[in-house]
Amino acid sequence: MNINYSKGSDPHGLVQYVLSPAKQESEQASPILATNMVGLNVEELAEEFRFAHDYNPRVRKTMTHYSVSLLPGERKSPEEIGVISKAVLAKTGHQDCQYLVVEHHDRKDHHQVQHWHIVTSSVDMKGKWVDDAFIKLRLQHIERELTETFGLQPKPERVKRDRLNLTTGEYRLKERTGGELTKEKLWRSLQIHTADQPSMLMLVTRLKAADISVRLYAREGQIDGISYGMEGIAFPGYKLGAAYSFKGLQRHLGVDHAPEQDELLRRVNLLTAQQCRQLVKQSKERDSAGVPQAEENSTVQLELAQGMLAIAFQVFAINHQAGRTQETAAGVWRLSGKRYISNYDSAAHEFSLTSLDDGGLKILGQFEAEALKVTAAQHIREHDLAAFREMRRIVDMISTQSSVQEL
């Protein structure tokens, strides 16, 4: 049994995919094997999902998608598929969410593999977000549990050399010694530290906290390479496997990074292991409070925006020192990122932060007596607040190494 996981924000597209006629058997009256929804077609089901999502508009990734595959030749009845799917939902925390289960038949004839899809909401009917932290690791345990519970065939172990990407020489050394190689320890550590899809800043912090050294490589001023050091041995990321290069971490393991964070990443990499352990500890103890419900420009929103804008200006200043901002007019500089744009007008003493996605976050500030004061704020969301809280801890730590100079 194998369970794959993905998430998104397009209920219509996801439902349309799983209900595609090309994936079904023509004689089926209805492709849906189990559900707690009343919709009968793509449009109705998508609208029903959106109804639940409106209970918690702060959640961006509103849809969760589990793809379940059995081993070749193994078969379960539609009723058994429904029972197994409900067990998956219960163990992942989606037992109170809308869901539908659809079997696909396009792989069965070619590979004798039975597989089906579980489409569910990331928000339950009470508006509660389903926490998916460490979901990839959790799914490994769930697979083993359900394999035993439902009498399924266990997945065969792959050859260690293939699984761990060992060279022929390393594989022979392992056979001779019988011990765990440094490369295997590093591979295992990377799996653990990337399981919750952290930012690149936090990943490097965690690795250094675990006494794994990191070296970053840049081309044309932008970081695009990484290597790791453990027990006195250096490993280029791409030689550990496609998922462990700098781009592979982002593409395959969901590690989050934006180019405007390159300078911060370089400075984080200068921290000592002890400082990184302190940062990791602070991250685990972080405030879990979300964004309070409040009108735009309310006292609550302005207070939240004050802290966010202050850290945005620190990030801007760090990049400005490194020559990574663009002068768009006389005395006006911009830091363009993947998610946010910061603008600083030295003549007007103004600074602003704007999101590039469709959320519409915008915070405006004015310098008064060298202090940055928020004048307007709108659309502060959960993920924005969480991102800047983590950024604050990191910037505060690297500020002990080198203070940010005034512009």
pLDDT band at 333 (very low <50, low <70, confident <90, very high): very high
11-20, 142-151, 279-288: least confident range: 279-288
Q: What percent of the chain has pLDDT over 70?
A: 89
CA 6, CA 160: separation in Å to the nearest integer?
27
Whether pLDDT at 314 is above 80: yes
Q: What angle do CA 76, 81, 82 make, to 5 degrees?
A: 150
∠274-275-278 over CA atoms, to 5°? 90
Residue 159: pLDDT band with limits 50, 70, 90 = very low
What are the DSSP E strand ranges found in 231-349? 233-236, 326-329, 332-336, 340-345
Q: How many helices (H) and strands (E) does the chain have?
A: 15, 14
Listed ranges 94-103, 183-192, 366-375; the one with the highest mean pLDDT: 94-103
Using 50, 70 and 90 to split pLDDT, how confident is the model at 112?
confident
Asked if residues 86 and 34 have their Cβ atoms less than 8 Å apart, the reply is: yes
Of the two residues 388 and 26, the one the predictor is more confident about is 388
Lowest mean pLDDT among 87-101, 108-122, 245-259: 108-122
For residue 157, what pLDDT band results from cuts at 50, 70 and 90?
low
Phi, psi of 349 (to 5 degrees): 55, 45
Of the two residues 173 and 145, the one the predictor is more confident about is 145
Please tell me the predicted confidence (pLDDT) of residue 407. Answer: 46
For the chain, give the mean pLDDT. Answer: 86
Residue 116 has pLDDT above 90, yes or no: yes
Q: List the one residue out of 69, 114, 107 whose CA is nearest residue 88.
A: 69
Q: CATH number of 2-149: 3.40.50.2000, 3.30.930.30, 3.20.20.70, 3.40.50.620?
A: 3.30.930.30
Percent of the chain with pLDDT over 90: 50
For 46-56, write each residue's pLDDT tens digit: 999 999 999 99
Round to whole Å and give the CA distance between 348 and 120: 49
Q: Which regions of the chain carry the CATH code 3.30.930.30?
A: 2-149
